[in-house]
Amino acid sequence: MKTILVVDDDYINLATTREVLSNEYKVILVKKGRQAISYLENGECDIILLDINMPEMDGLEVMHKIREMEQCRSIPVIVLTGDSDSETESRCLKEGAIDFIAKPFVPAVMLSRIGRILELEDLRRSLADRLEQKIQELSDIKSKARRDALTGLWNREYAEEAVDSMMGSGISGALMMMDMDNFKLINDNYGHIAGDKTLKMFADTLRKFSSDGDVLCRIGGDEFIVFVKDAVSKSELSVRAADIINDMSNKIKEANYETKSSVSVGIAKAPEDGTEFSKLYNAADKALYYVKQNGKNSYHFFRDKLAAEKERSEKTVDLKYLKELMNRADSGHGAYQMDFDSFHHVYNFIRRFVDRSKRDVQTLLFTVSESDNSQLDAAETDLAVETLENAIYTSLRRSDISTRYSSRQIIVILMDANSVNGDMVANRIISNFNKIYTGKSVNIDYGIARLDSESENAAE
């Protein structure tokens, strides 16, 4: 049943109104404007019948107060008046009255007007609800289109717009760009379902160490960015980057992924390193590249990279100094060992070398597997592979190169070696492995192939 609030200082009018309306509506009667305001602060009604001429607070003032109350702004008001003055009607309409009923009122006319207005109000509310529903549906569709389907984080399009909007409003912050080291090995060794699970874990880690207003985004693959909103000190950013790296490392250990996967982070600050997304992104990407080239599993600030470059630019060196500097990272013994992410650059360089020099270069692929009588867990497999790496390192020349492809396979590049030499080297490595290996019995298999030049591949 609809509720009608009647505000009139005349007892006879109140009694008559109740008699006319009470059969169809719930009727609330008050004599003063302040009583009406007091009721509306906690009570509800569907329509208000308001006398315009009242002591203390007249109908116009009551309407003005009602429209200031957020919960009452849409309640239709019908003015009860014996004054047909056009100026009064104009003021009532300006304050929000929807209709007038002249005193003394005719019951049939009053019921008809109230019924019509309530019917229109129901229609208005229905249309408003449908419009709100459609707006929400469109908002949901737009939001989903800007979300990464796997992780639920924002996509790059949204992140770029959001960051540019914030910086355009004078908001400072920092862009952290990060990706997972050796993520491909998780997909290769454990399958893409495990890879997807890892990306979701990464997203959860970012949420864990984010604040309200930060923009979390998956760029694609294993690359993510976080825009940290508002001015943040370098020490705070360092703590957050370290927390992300450590939390993800623990999750990878808990998942028993034997891939040496980790997280690298590059950080650019606004406005120092840029005042728009593209410049911050490029700066953070360069800082991330620095981390990838210097051991991974860490973070670096673009500003620090610039400082190091500036320091180098201010000091001129000769070739002797440069040679000594570059040689400090080389122990000078055994095969050159490197991570797989950097290995393909060297591999392609060697292909160019083979193309020009026409020398023989062999590729060996060693695989560790269980013997017929033993099953290896992750720790035992890792021991076997580390021992094999040691055997490779001590068995090869300084000009040869090795890299771990996965938790069970190692690639070796033998410079200036034919297939016969390659088989001899492979057997020597296996022999040295057997001498120093102390774990469960394993099989070490290998394949050998000549490294083709770029021109030979093109001819095929």
Q: Which of 10-24, 71-85, 110-124 has the lowest mean pLDDT?
A: 71-85
What is the pLDDT, as a whole number, of residue 367? Answer: 92
What is the pLDDT, as a whole number, of residue 72? Answer: 87
CB 413 within 8 A of CB 400: yes
Q: For 217-267, write each residue's pLDDT tens digit.
A: 999 999 999 999 987 888 899 999 999 999 999 999 999 998 889 999 999
Cβ neighbours of residue 288 closer than 8 Å, sequence gap 6 or more: 177, 178, 179, 264, 265, 266, 300
Strands 47-51 and 215-220: unpaired
Backbone angles phi, psi at 235, to 5 degrees: -65, -40
Burial code of 266-296, b = ≥16 C-beta within 10 A, e = fewer? bbbbbeebbeebebbbbbbbbbbebbbeeeb
**What percentage of the chain reaches a pLDDT higher than 90?**
39
Distances (CA, A) of 400 to 52, 256, 366, 396, 411: 99, 32, 15, 6, 11
Which burial class, exposed, middle or buried, applies to 63 when counting CB atoms under 10 A from its CB (0-12, 13-18, 19+)?
Answer: buried
Q: Does the pTM exceed 0.95?
A: no
What is the pLDDT, as a whole number, of residue 439? Answer: 84
Tell the CATH superfamily of the 156-313 domain. Reverse transcriptase/Diguanylate cyclase domain (3.30.70.270)
What is the pLDDT, as a whole number, of residue 240? Answer: 93
Place of tokens 């160490």: 209
What is the pLDDT, as a whole number, of residue 334? Answer: 63
Cβ neighbours of residue 354 closer than 8 Å, sequence gap 6 or more: 361, 451, 452, 453
Task: Say which residue, 246 or 319, is predicted with more confidence.
Answer: 246
| 362 confidence band (pLDDT: 50, 70, 90) | very high
The radius of gyration of the chain's CA atoms, rounded to the nearest angstrom, is 39
The average confidence (pLDDT) of the chain is 85
Backbone angles phi, psi at 216, to 5 degrees: -105, 130
My answer on whether omega of the bond before 55 falls inside 30° of 0, hence cis, is no
Please, how many CA atoms are within 13 Å of residue 446, restricted to the half-sphere of its CB? 24
What is the pLDDT, as a whole number, of residue 434? Answer: 92
Domain covering 3-123: architecture? 3-Layer(aba) Sandwich (3.40)
Strands 215-220 and 223-229: antiparallel
pLDDT at 299 over 60: yes
Mean pLDDT of 318-338: 62
CB 78 within 8 A of CB 99: yes
Domain ranges of the chain: 3-123, 156-313, 336-459
pLDDT at 456 over 60: no
Mean pLDDT of 311-322: 64
- Going by C-alpha positions, the residue among 215, 223, 141 that lies closest to residue 181 is 223
What is the pLDDT, as a whole number, of residue 332? Answer: 52
Distances (CA, A) of 110 to 19, 20, 353: 12, 9, 99
Please, how many CA atoms are within 13 Å of residue 260, restricted to the half-sphere of its CB? 13
Q: At what angle do helices 192-208 and 234-254 cross, to 10 degrees?
A: 150
Residue type, 210: S
Would you say the CATH fold of 336-459 matches that of 156-313? Answer: yes
User: What is the CATH code of the structural domain delimited by 336-459?
Assistant: 3.30.70.270
